[in-house]
Amino acid sequence: MRNRELARLKHIRTLDPVADHEEIYRTVAQYEFGWETMLGLNLAFYSTFGIPAIAELLHSTGEMTERTRKRADDTGLLMYELITNGLEAERGRAAVKRLNQIHRRFTIADDDYRYVLATFVVVPTRWIARTGWRPLCCHERTATVEFYRRLGELMHVTDIPSDYAAFEKVLDTYEAEHFAHTAAAEALMTATRGLFAGRLPDRLKGLAGPVADTLLPPTLRTAVGAPTPALPVRMLVGGLLRARATAEAWKAPRTEPYLKLGTAPSYPDGYRVEELGPVV
């Protein structure tokens, strides 16, 4: 049931997934699976709410509950500056420097840093496997790992997992050991749930709250105090996601990047990478 051109995948398979990881991951995130990657990264960020230490830190800054739109824009822009320009490019290096400036004022355990890296690797990969028009190939998955391994190195994270299986183990083990409901997690999810509608297809935006809750794993729903949506809602969402994947499989390949940098709701006149995020 697929008629989509696979030229990009064929090209990716001619590349070295380690040496060419930036090109491959950029192709995944901006062309092959633009919507899936963006939503997967959102779900990865929501996963961190389930870790009490991370939730308390995020809540204590007030950035997500009082300046929700700007916080979301800052996070998305910094991530896509890295993805679009590359970690070693001038703007990519500026984004890494800004991330380090933002985080260095906090005491954050290395285990928490490793877990966050694992969410960026594993959660979008699993989301693409669930909702994409095809799964990631081994080159794409390896490139994703290498991209976030390098980002971790630039952010001075220690004992970074060496491959995808190791990242999966970090994520699954850490969640099993640490996921717990907190008031901070519930407040964070409540504040950000409204923005989630902007990531959804038009036909789902009227059900943004229940749809968002449907997409969360049951253990994360418990941690953030989200209800389990009714079975008809879960079935509707599942059916629409499958229909979307089928439609995507028949579309022509994307020729423009999924997310074009330059402006955002909080920065209608543009921005400087050095100014993204809170005042530090």
Q: For residue 1, what pLDDT is reported?
A: 45
Asked if residues 24 and 12 have their Cβ atoms less than 8 Å apart, the reply is yes
The alpha-helical segments, DSSP class H, found in the chain are 7-12, 21-27, 34-47, 52-61, 63-66, 68-85, 90-103, 110-131, 138-154, 164-178, 183-196, 208-215, 218-224, 231-250
Q: For residue 195, what pLDDT is reported?
A: 75
252-270 pLDDT tens trace: 899 999 999 999 999 999 9
Angle at 80 between CA 78 and CA 84, to 5 degrees: 130
Q: For residue 243, what pLDDT is reported?
A: 93
Q: For residue 200, what pLDDT is reported?
A: 64
150-160 pLDDT tens trace: 999 999 999 99
pLDDT exceeding 70 applies to what percent of the chain? 95
Task: Output the DSSP codes for 169-232.
Answer: HHHHHHHHHH----HHHHHHHHHHHHHHGGGS-GGGGGGHHHHHHHHS-HHHHHHHTPPPPPHH
Q: For residue 51, what pLDDT is reported?
A: 97
Asked if residues 212 and 204 have their Cβ atoms less than 8 Å apart, the reply is no
Tokens of 215: 């997409």
Q: For residue 203, what pLDDT is reported?
A: 65
Partners of residue 264 on adjacent β-strands: 267
Q: For residue 4, what pLDDT is reported?
A: 76
pTM summary value: 0.93
144, 145, 151, 152 alpha-carbon torsion, rounded to 10°: 150
Q: For residue 205, what pLDDT is reported?
A: 63
The tens place of each residue's pLDDT in the chain, 280 residues long, gives 466 778 899 999 999 999 999 999 999 999 999 999 999 999 999 999 999 999 999 999 998 889 989 999 999 999 999 999 999 999 999 999 999 999 998 999 999 999 999 999 999 999 999 999 999 999 999 999 999 999 999 999 999 999 999 999 999 999 999 999 999 999 999 988 877 656 666 666 667 778 888 999 999 999 999 999 999 989 988 998 999 999 999 998 999 999 999 999 999 999 999 999 998 7
* 113 Cα distance to chain centroid: 15
Q: For residue 164, what pLDDT is reported?
A: 98
